[in-house]
Amino acid sequence: MESQVRGGTRWKRFAVVMVPSVAATAAIGVALAQGALAASFSVSGQSFKVTAEKLEGKGFVQYGAIDSGYTLSGEKTDHPVAVSAFNEAQIKSLCQSVVTPGIPVLGSVSLTLTAGDSSDPAKQVSAKNLYIDVEDLGADATFNNIDIGVAAKDAQKGPGINQDEVSSKRTNPYGFAQQAESATLTDVKQTAWATTAGTFKLPGLHMKLQTGKHECY
């Protein structure tokens, strides 16, 4: 949850205001990607699902943004997301899946990625400067020294809001944000449109392609 391998699948960032709720606070997840901090790109017409047994993060911030991208038919569209960012994250038992429908002859094709060994601390997935554009999240969450309602531009406990999003007016620097010194999430189930990271280490990475619909949850 390294080097951000936007690898093989393409994904990315809702906007102006976020709902100050516990559910929004917990909007954290993981996914594959590669590059610098919160790089700007148009998201594909496919969201992806991610599960993790446990995510432990240091330096957390969350704010609203808009991911601009396309539908699968090529039309331009926008997706509202809650951007969750960490200075550092450790993840147990990562699974990521994306389903591509309408493949001639084959029908749907599923890509599944797994990484990390839950029984070996030395083989957990790790990430630095991790940004996740979340559409839906379910987890049991604990936040330490959390601030709810801080202006997005003043959030300093995590990596901070992405300036490319500010300049492109995909986020409001004066809008609602939340931050915490650390966060722990267990039994994570998430749908996201994009992820970027400074580094993304995936020990035991395994990729599998299958016909039909095979998702992490």
**CA neighbor of 133 nearest in space, from 42, 202, 200:** 42
- Give the whole-angstrom CA distance, residue 58 versus residue 48: 24
Instruction: Strands of the chain (E only): list them.
Output: 48-70, 76-92, 94-103, 107-115, 125-144, 147-151, 176-196, 199-201, 206-211
Which residues have C-beta within 8 Å of that of residue 30, sequence separation ≥ 6? 1, 50, 52, 55, 89, 91, 94, 96, 125, 127, 130, 132, 188, 190, 195
Q: Give residue-wise pLDDT tens across range 87-118.
A: 999 999 999 999 999 889 999 999 999 999 87
**Cβ-contact 23, 137 below 8 angstroms:** yes
pLDDT in tens, 173-210: 899 999 999 999 999 999 999 999 999 999 999 999 99
pLDDT single digits (tens) 110-160: 999 999 987 788 889 999 999 999 999 999 999 999 999 999 999 999 998
pTM, 2 dp: 0.79
- Supply 144's token pair: 């330490």
Domain boundaries, the chain: 22-211
Residues 6+ apart with CB under 8 A from 120: none
Q: Is pLDDT above 70 for 44?
A: yes
